[in-house]
Amino acid sequence: MTFQATVLTLYPEMFPGPLGMSLAGRALVEGVWSLQAQNIRASATDKHRSVDDTPAGGGAGMVLRADVLAAALDSVADGRPMLAMTPRGRPLIQARVRELAAGEGAIVLCGRFEGFDERIFEAREVEPVSIGDYVLSGGELGAMVLLDACVRLLPGVMGAASSGEEESFEQGLLEYPHYTRPFEWEGRTIPEVLRSGDHARIAAWRHEQAVNDTRLRRPDLIERHGGASQAPPSGARQRNEGKTK
């Protein structure tokens, strides 16, 4: 079963872009997923092929027309979820990415200028999605973020080693920190426990690090997952205790 991605954009030549490389690129070549980038302008109806107009009520910039957006969506709609990239959307989270990756694909609408005529969200089943609390100049990078996150979860795309179950956000936690050789670098050593070969101890240490780092950096994640059960064991060790001197 191929994951089918369709991107509606004013800049189809931006695709596959980074999605044509590395893991996602190989999976694209292998047919694990497919990508179609369609120009929104192809759905324009007037003789100037216009896709936007000035904002009702005044103000700067241009707004993408609802009639053109609807025609673009209708031309590719086939039951796959339809998502629109907008800073006004629900923030994208790994749980939603997993759901999407388990489905047949996605249709992703990319905005430009001031964004979309709001009526498109009433007239069509389009889920507004944000990739974070900052403003991009267009939805294309957002669409790439969303699709990259989905594609790496498709069966066979990541190596067996990284099934993704321990990764950041999967348990409501950031992932534990990683280390690799050389064992000593600029006077810093790899935490001794990781060389102990004691898998239970290593697992406990990693969990503790994950909880501590999440508390420090992303208390909102702990909160969201009802963090009490994730309280770190007392006497949590400091990660830099491996430093020599």
Least separation in angstroms between residue 211's CB and ligand SAH is 29
179 is in an annotated binding site: no
Least separation in angstroms between residue 131's CB and ligand SAH is 4
Interacting residues with ligand SAH (CB under 6 A): 85-88, 110-112, 114-115, 130-132, 134-136, 138-139, 142
Give the integer Cα–Cα distance in Å for 37 and 163.
29
CA distances from 77 to 6, 80, 177 (A): 10, 7, 42
**Helix, strand, or coil (residue 93):** coil
Q: Which is nearer to ligand SAH, 115 or 191 (CB)?
A: 115
Q: Which is nearer to ligand SAH, 130 or 230 (CB)?
A: 130
117 is in an annotated binding site: no
Angle between helices 140-151 and 94-101 (to 10 degrees): 70
Q: Which is nearer to ligand SAH, 12 or 164 (CB)?
A: 12
Q: Which is nearer to ligand SAH, 53 or 184 (CB)?
A: 53
132 is in an annotated binding site: yes
31 is in an annotated binding site: no
Give the integer Cα–Cα distance in Å for 118 and 200.
53
Q: Write the CB contacts of 60 (distance below 8 Å, at least 6 apart in sequence).
A: 114
3-state SS of 174-188 is CCCCCCCCCCEECCE
Least separation in angstroms between residue 235's CB and ligand SAH is 41
- Could you tell me which residues are annotated as the binding site? 111, 131-136
- Binding site as annotated, residues for S-adenosyl-L-methionine: 111, 131-136
